[in-house]
Structure 1
Amino acid sequence: MIDSHCHLDFDDFTDDISEVLERARNQGVTRFLIPGTTPSGWQRQCQLHGQHDDIDIAFGLHPYFLQQDNEQALGSLEQQLAHAADQAVAVGEIGLDATVDVPEKEQIAVLDRQLSLAKEARLPVILHHRKTHHLLLARLKATGFDQGGVIHAFSGSKEVADAYRDHGFLLGIGGTVTYSRAKKTRATVAAMPVSALLLETDSPDMPVCGYQGKRNEPVRVTDVAAELAAIRDCAVNEIDAATTNNYQRLFSSN
């Protein structure tokens, strides 16, 4: 089983990262992908990648953390991808977020540049969305991005899911589906072919049902898998095998 999206480089895990990893490994989690959010975090990601054979990393500029001088940050990303090309399996976490205090025009400019860098590097992307599905789909079309990737923390309709799949994207399924109130997303996930899905936690955020208010950890990806199996009326090992295969297929070139 693979946690395809966990921020283990965050300060939340500084004091007990070894224990966090062991708890997950003991429950059958075999790989962890840490997406990048800021230039200052990339060094910690590289350190963890060097210390643990089962950690993959990606570099990107998250819309939450965009600064006034985004040109400098984009230049740093270009250099990071050039100097650590053998380490990155993707460009991300990147995307668009309608809830942050960053002008939409600026977010789009940064996203387009990162899509261009990913295309040049022949890497998939990890896309963040919040009330921006229509904008993201428009940018994928406008830029002609064709490297595929994953829609992190997917929530939405089957129509939106199919549109992303048409662009070569998988859907990252996390804690949202463990809540019965997420009826639309649960129905969409049930209707998708299992070949379109990845498991994730977004640790330390997005806790699964029953763990609200607590730090999320990669071990909880097992709860996501169990809920996904229940929604789809299949065995957990089927979900495990399929999503592991999907992960390896998406990130196989790196």
Structure 2
Amino acid sequence: MDILDIHTHRMPVELGQAIQNCQPAEFDPLAGAYYSVGIHPWYLTRENLDRQWEMLLAAIQCPQVLAIGEAGLDKLVRTDYMLQQKVFEKQAMLAHEMKYPLVIHAVRSANEIICLRKKMKPSNPWIIHGFRGKKELALQYIREGIYVSLGEKYQEEVLWGIPLEYLFLETDESMIDIHCLYERAALLLEIPLCKLMQQVRQNINNVFFRQ
């Protein structure tokens, strides 16, 4: 296991170095690759929900799937928000029951996500992917035991202000090399690159490869 990138929508240069995200209908695993699979609020309709759910249940039987997601809530998309909430809670319950990490897409929905976390009290890890908010919001998530994953664009105060034990890095849809993100983060933190990589690898092991 040498994963450094916990969330990408593109094929990594070397299989096994990233967790590739895909929709249930797109899931077609390659040997040696790792995946997260979930119902994204952007692509959710009342008409396709049942079919997407069936495909998600089938996909998570594959041992190469390490997480459910990205699931989540997005107040800027046209998808009915009550439907989003229903499906997000359903995926959160599935991840809890199956002991999968939950990768979360969150847009202007922190309060709802934190309220659900408090209500469910899940034992599985939750990760806010592509976090771009302020340090105060990141710390609010972390106080609830939720991890934060930073992509190419983020507020530097977040990196300085959160415990490294709750940090991940990701490329998402960017074409940037994941190693560049680690180099930049280590430079901003003023710590050796090897120390940062060691800590994030430990986080990945703790979250995605739990026994």
TM-score using structure 1 length: 0.75
Q: Distance in 1 between matches of 2:134 and 2:69?
A: 23
Q: Is the 8 A contact 2:99 2:123 kept in 1?
A: no
Structure 1 residue 146, shift from structure 2 partner: 2.8
- Asked whether the equivalents of residues 78 and 117 of structure 1 are also in contact (C-alpha less than 8 Å), the reply is no
Task: Flag the structure with more relative contact order, 1 or 2, with Cα contacts below 8 A and sequence separation at least 6.
Answer: 1
In structure 2, the partner of 1:244 is: 201
Q: From 36, 39, 58, give the equivalent of 2:24.
A: 39
The Cα offsets for residues 162-217 of structure 1, whole Å up to 9 and x where unpaired, read as 2222332221111013xxxxxxx211210112111111100xx2x4xxxxxxxx15
Which of residues 183, 186, 194 in structure 1 aligns to 2:164?
194
> Match of 1:21, SS?
coil
Per the TM alignment, residue 107 of structure 1 is displaced from its structure 2 partner at its CA by 0.3
Letter in 1 for 2:57: E
**Alignment-derived partner of residue 210 in structure 2:** 253
- Please tell me the residue identity of whatever aligns with 2:126: G
Given that 1:74 and 1:110 are in contact with CA atoms closer than 8 Å, whether structure 2 keeps it comes out as no
Query: Contact 2:25 / 2:55 at 8 angstroms: preserved in 1?
Result: no
3-state DSSP of counterpart to 1:61: coil
The runs of 5 or more residues in structure 2 that have no matched partner are none
Paired position in structure 2 for 1:56:
34
- Structure 2 residue 192 is the aligned partner of structure 1 residue 231: no
Structure 2 counterparts to residues 91-102 of structure 1, below 5 A: 91-102=68-79
Give the secondary-structure state (helix, strand or coil) at the position aligned to 1:4: strand
Q: 1:5 aligns with which of 1, 7, 19?
A: 7
AA aligned to 2:120 is T
1:69-117 C-alpha deviation (Å, 9 max, x unpaired) = 2133223322332x32x23211111111111110110100000000111
* Structure 2 residue aligned with 1:173: 150
Indicate yes or no: 2:57 matched with 1:78: yes
Q: For the Cα contact (< 8 Å) 1:146–1:168, is it kept in 2?
A: no
CA distance in 1 between partners of 2:108 and 2:8 (Å): 22
Give me the identity figure in percent: 23
Calculate the aligned-residue CA RMSD, in Å: 2.0
Counterpart code for 1:164? Y
The aligned residue for residue 213 of structure 1 is: none
**1:87-166 maps to which residues of 2 (within 5 A)?**
87-166=64-143
Q: Which residue of 2 aligns with 1:212?
A: none
Q: Secondary structure at the match of 2:153?
A: helix
Please give the alpha-carbon distance, in whole angstroms, between the structure 2 residues aligned to 1:162 and 1:152.
Answer: 15
Q: What is the number of equivalent residue pairs in this alignment?
A: 208
- How far apart, CA to CA, are the structure 2 residues paired with 1:134 and 1:226? 32
Structure 2 letter corresponding to 1:74: W
> For the residues of structure 2 that align with 1:75 and 1:141, how far apart are their CA atoms?
28
Higher share of residues assigned helix:
1
TM-score, normalized by length of structure 2?
A: 0.89
Q: Which runs of 5+ in 1 are unaligned?
A: 9-16, 178-184, 208-215
Does structure 2 conserve the Cα–Cα contact (< 8 Å) formed by 1:146 and 1:167?
A: no
Distance in 1 (CA, whole Å) between partners of 2:197 and 2:93 is: 32
The one-letter code matched in structure 2 to 1:5 is H
Whole-angstrom distance in 1 between the partners of 2:115 and 2:128: 14
The higher radius of gyration belongs to 1
